[in-house]
Structure 1
Amino acid sequence: MALLILAGALILFVGMRIAFPQFTQASIQAADNVANKILERVAGMAPAAGSGISTAQQAHFTALDGTVRIKKGNGNSWVPADYNVPLDKGDVVQTGSEGMAKVVFNDGTSYTVKQDSLIVIEENSANDQQQTNVAVAVSTGTVDLSTATYVQGSKSRVIVEGATASLAPDSAAQVHNDPKGDHHEILMKKGTGEVTRNGETVQLANWEKVSFQGQQARMEKAKEIGPPTPISPANMAPIFSAGESTKDVEFSWTPMANAVGYRLRISRNPYFSSTLVDKRVNTADVTVTSLGEGAYYWMVQSYGVSGKESVESEKNRFTIISKGKQTEAINLELDPFVQHGHVIEVTGKTETGARVMVNGREVPMISTDGTFHYFTPPLPTGEAVITITAQTAQGGVNTQQKKIIIQ
């Protein structure tokens, strides 16, 4: 509209000069004044600097496992999820019975969508003051989410069956929505937040949760059982075997008051979409036999007399390495970095079975052919160094560093 007004003013002024060349300088000046006023009005239609006008942002997959599909907000068909497909406002993400996906937004907020879940990106924008607004609706299933340190005035919300949870920076929560069973809950695992529904607002802190059913007028607040703390194997610990093909590993964690037993789970992937070990014991330690070489993840929960389990513990990673094998450089090929604002997309290929770290953070999923795909958290403005390290269970390693300018 503004461009049409501007074009009309220019055509009018040129036409007057051609049709009436006898116009005096005063007349021309008067016409200039009219044109200037039109231009000022047109300029006033544009958003002023610092006006807080929001622009749409995109989110990205940083981990995919099993069956995951998406439906774009402007489409009607489902397509397989892919690292190269950005996520916009209105897009839908669905995981299958063996699927898992991790979605990261530009403000650092991340959503781990667990099996048999469906989410909708309701809002994802930022203004010229770097304030972000992220909102995700959990239609069904279970989602773990965490927020980063973002600019004051930013918003990070998750919506469940008419309830809206607003999370503070550096917070983490778990959301569960079961529409068929009419059971809905929001658990605060770290930090603080508040949940609003039907005019009621409930404040949440560590290990507090609200739950409700559709017909309930008010939400129920409860204190959850905190999880045990994993002790051994420590996170990122190497465990060496003396040339044997398997290794017996001792697991231990902090004992919990009022616990009658513990549930130990071991998986090859950090999202536990499949498990190698899932066993219950009545002591705070247990030995698991015959684990082969490679990387593992483990976590533990306690449970009481009623059988109710605590929330999940932190997930520790350890690697079983056969002793006596010489360390050697392994293959690590990097593609050119792709910059998405303050987020850097890192892709490449290493040897099959290797693990990859980017700036000290582990790449969650490596394809069977060694290819990997990773989005960094938002980086500060200025020069940044990206360090990529690939390592095999046999001790082979390769590290590369590249500099990039964040503007």
Structure 2
Amino acid sequence: MPTPTSIDPRHAQHHQKVPRVEVYWTTVTYKTVILYSLVALGVVFGGMYLAKPELYSAVINKIHRTVGNADVDPVNADQKHAKFVNLDGRVQIKKFNSVQWVDATLSTALDKGDLVETGSDGDARISFADGTSYTIKPDTLITVEENSTESNRPTSVTVSIQTGAVDLATPYLRSPDSKAAVKSEDATTQLHSNSRAAVKFDPEKKESEVVVSSGTAQVQRGEEKIDLVQYEKATIPSTGAIQKSTVLKPPELVEPLNLAPIIAENPKTATVHFEWKPVPEAASYRLRVSATSMLTRNIVDKKNITGTSVDVTGLETGDYFWNVMATDAKKESSELGDIFRFSLVAQGKSQDMILEITGYQLHGRVAEIIGKTEPGAALIVNGQPVPNIAADGTFRHFTEPLEPGQHSIVVVGQNRRGGTGHAQVSIVVPK
């Protein structure tokens, strides 16, 4: 068989009219590209080193820092920001590098130098990465002064008040050198571990006030320092020495229990009984019931109560928060004490559901609740939903960490027929 002869288009005869497209290419390997790139970079850096050695050093240091920090977790870096955990009403912020005020959201991250302002109906709670929280009261303007929460060194968080009031609460601070503070004018209030205080500042009078509701704090202005313990107040005038005094203790709440459900056939006409322990120095009390955890837009606001209990009707089905403040004969009021939460639940009109607590176990300060209900039912334990219920209706639920002492664990539920159930058990958490 004759072998086909390849035709070189460059030597083809003129009488051949077949159209052709000539394509030429050169194969370049990745190694060649990388080699040429390195040579080019070497020329650039060599010229930079000869012309401007200081610029060369700066660029090399920047590259070194970037490469050296390549393993930084972006999530952990984001956790160093302060964030809003509660927002109610009008709350606006102005970033330190902006001239525009914008509405705050729960996804807004706060940095050093940012401004936060609340309106007359506004309330906000800010949480820092170390667990410190600041509750900003209505008609308040603050600046985030400091936010240093590195894990390998003492933390330091501070806000300053231009006008208004702020509540500051601290967790356990892992280092004695850690700082959580509020500045007002030329005074600084620093809280210690597991403490809470309210700080107010009047810019017209240039006067500050600090009240410690738990733990300890120190107020400093210049060389003057005042230590405060629970239920003590420091008044810081524009001139003169800081004055220290005692304040009225807030009442201890009794009923409804925190996170307890109240089941009624008709919640609108049901009577809800509120009760608290007496404060010896109190002349009257004020009861507030709200649908928000920061007690804004109160549904019930009863003042000048002379007894230690009140019955309330007319509440709709839902979750509520309540608190009582005491007032003495001088019209001085106690600070905000504990805020309890309860749920008003409508009794199912059909057959009640099966619900029982069969046992519990303590794991440190966490209680494991074991029980049985109907398949497909919805359960709430101390205000927290039970995510996993087995096909046969058995369930296990772990509570939040409980303080030492006696606790009433309450379980409420509803089945698919609209029936409701209620069960509770008393647990003692040892010290």
**Structure 1 segment 88-237 matched on structure 2, within 5 A:** 88-127=111-150, 129-152=152-175, 153-214=177-238, 216-237=239-260
| Displacement after TM superposition at 1:245 (Å) | 3.4
Q: 1:391 to 1:268 in 2, by over 3 A?
A: farther
- Counterpart of 1:240 in structure 2 is 263
- Counterpart of 2:298 in structure 1 is 275
Query: Does residue 74 in structure 1 map to residue 109 in structure 2?
Result: no
| Displacement after TM superposition at 1:117 (Å) | 0.7
- Counterpart of 1:374 in structure 2 is none
- Counterpart of 2:324 in structure 1 is 300
- The letter of the residue matching 2:87 is L
RMSD: 3.8
| Displacement after TM superposition at 1:273 (Å) | 1.6
- Counterpart of 1:313 in structure 2 is 337
Asked whether the 8 Å contact 1:249–1:287 carries over to 2, the reply is: yes
| Displacement after TM superposition at 1:127 (Å) | 3.6
Asked whether the 8 Å contact 1:115–1:273 carries over to 2, the reply is: no
> Which one is further off, 260-269 or 239-248?
239-248
Give the secondary-structure state (helix, strand or coil) at the position aligned to 1:291.
Answer: coil
Distance 1:78 1:355 in 2: 43
- Scaled by the length of structure 2, the TM-score of the pair is 0.64
Distance 1:103 1:244 in 2: 34
Asked whether the 8 Å contact 2:146–2:157 carries over to 1, the reply is: yes
| Displacement after TM superposition at 1:75 (Å) | 0.7
Q: 1:73 to 1:231 in 2, by over 3 A?
A: same
1:261-305 superposed Cα distances (whole Å, 9 cap, x missing partner)? 111111111111211121121111111122221111111111122
Q: 1:322 to 1:91 in 2, by over 3 A?
A: same
Asked whether the 8 Å contact 2:248–2:281 carries over to 1, the reply is: no
Distance 1:87 1:190 in 2: 27
Point out where structure 1 has 5 or more consecutive residues left out of the alignment.
1-6, 16-37, 50-54, 329-353, 362-389, 398-407
Q: 1:396 to 1:155 in 2, by over 3 A?
A: farther
Give the secondary-structure state (helix, strand or coil) at the position aligned to 2:46.
Answer: helix
Asked whether the 8 Å contact 2:267–2:346 carries over to 1, the reply is: yes
- Scaled by the length of structure 1, the TM-score of the pair is 0.67
1:158-206 superposed Cα distances (whole Å, 9 cap, x missing partner)? 1111111111111111111111243311111111111110210111111
Distance 1:58 1:357 in 2: 32
| Displacement after TM superposition at 1:313 (Å) | 2.4
Asked whether the 8 Å contact 2:173–2:192 carries over to 1, the reply is: no
Asked whether the 8 Å contact 1:247–1:320 carries over to 2, the reply is: no
> Which one is further off, 302-311 or 69-78?
302-311
| Displacement after TM superposition at 1:145 (Å) | 1.4
- The letter of the residue matching 1:204 is L
Give the secondary-structure state (helix, strand or coil) at the position aligned to 1:255.
Answer: coil
Asked whether the 8 Å contact 1:172–1:189 carries over to 2, the reply is: yes
Asked whether the 8 Å contact 1:198–1:217 carries over to 2, the reply is: no
Query: Does residue 11 in structure 1 map to residue 46 in structure 2?
Result: yes
Distance 1:59 1:97 in 2: 23
- The letter of the residue matching 1:261 is S
Q: How many residue pairs are counted as aligned between the two chains?
A: 310
Distance 2:379 2:129 in 1: 25
Give the secondary-structure state (helix, strand or coil) at the position aligned to 1:252.
Answer: strand
Q: 1:305 to 1:127 in 2, by over 3 A?
A: closer
Give the secondary-structure state (helix, strand or coil) at the position aligned to 1:11.
Answer: helix
Q: 1:240 to 1:126 in 2, by over 3 A?
A: closer
State, as a whole percentage, how many aligned pairs show the same letter.
35
Larger-Rg structure: 2
Point out where structure 2 has 5 or more consecutive residues left out of the alignment.
1-41, 51-56, 70-76, 354-377, 386-411, 422-431
- Counterpart of 1:351 in structure 2 is none
| Displacement after TM superposition at 1:128 (Å) | 5.6
Q: 1:169 to 1:9 in 2, by over 3 A?
A: farther
Distance 1:210 1:160 in 2: 13
Asked whether the 8 Å contact 1:125–1:134 carries over to 2, the reply is: yes
Q: 1:104 to 1:10 in 2, by over 3 A?
A: same
Distance 2:420 2:342 in 1: 16
Q: 1:122 to 1:256 in 2, by over 3 A?
A: same
Distance 2:48 2:270 in 1: 87
Give the secondary-structure state (helix, strand or coil) at the position aligned to 2:240.
Answer: coil
- The letter of the residue matching 1:11 is G
**Structure 1 segment 53-68 matched on structure 2, within 5 A:** 57-68=80-91
Distance 2:144 2:219 in 1: 19
1:97-127 superposed Cα distances (whole Å, 9 cap, x missing partner)? 0011111000001111111111100010234
1:46-76 superposed Cα distances (whole Å, 9 cap, x missing partner)? 8x99xxxxx9931111111110100000111
Give the secondary-structure state (helix, strand or coil) at the position aligned to 1:310.
Answer: coil
Distance 1:358 1:130 in 2: 37
Q: Identify which of structures 1 and 2 has the higher relative contact order when contacts are C-alpha pairs closer than 8 Å and 6+ apart.
A: 1
| Displacement after TM superposition at 1:83 (Å) | 1.6
2:308 to 284, 287, 290: 284
Q: 1:292 to 1:359 in 2, by over 3 A?
A: closer
Distance 2:86 2:381 in 1: 14
